[in-house]
Amino acid sequence: MSGIAVVGIVEKDNLILIGKKIKKDHYLSESWHILGGKVEENEDYEEALKREIKEEAGIDIKVKEKLDEMFDLNSNLKVIWYLCNFLDGDLVAGDDIQEVKFVSKDKIKELCSEEAVKLWPEKVVEYLER
């Protein structure tokens, strides 16, 4: 295992934050997905998630609870999923994300890339289908 990544299901007014990755050598290149990223050395998981969401979407979040975890063979990372609330800020794409938006739960599966959806752990799928 080469590391740990964190992903945040960020909610605001019953909508979920997603982002579209820029064109790059990555299995999610130019695809919509739920935002997150790698945990840096000596970084707390929740702090890493707050940093990643701030870098990629320009907003501040509150991490509520851990939802699930899984191993991503594409990136060779353990991925920990969290439920989060929007706190403050203006939605602005940054880092390796070209566009960000909040969408309803029932639209997420059709908007996010099939590659991303295949990697959602069971509890994430159940949560998004509620």
Active-site residue numbers?
Answer: 99
**Sign of the torsion formed by the C-alpha atoms of 78, 83, 85 and 90:** positive
What beta strand segments (E) does the chain contain? 4-12, 15-21, 32-33, 36-38, 59-72, 77-89, 97-104
Q: How many residues does the chain have?
A: 130
CA dist list (Å): 55 to 51, 64, 72, 76, 115: 6, 19, 22, 22, 23
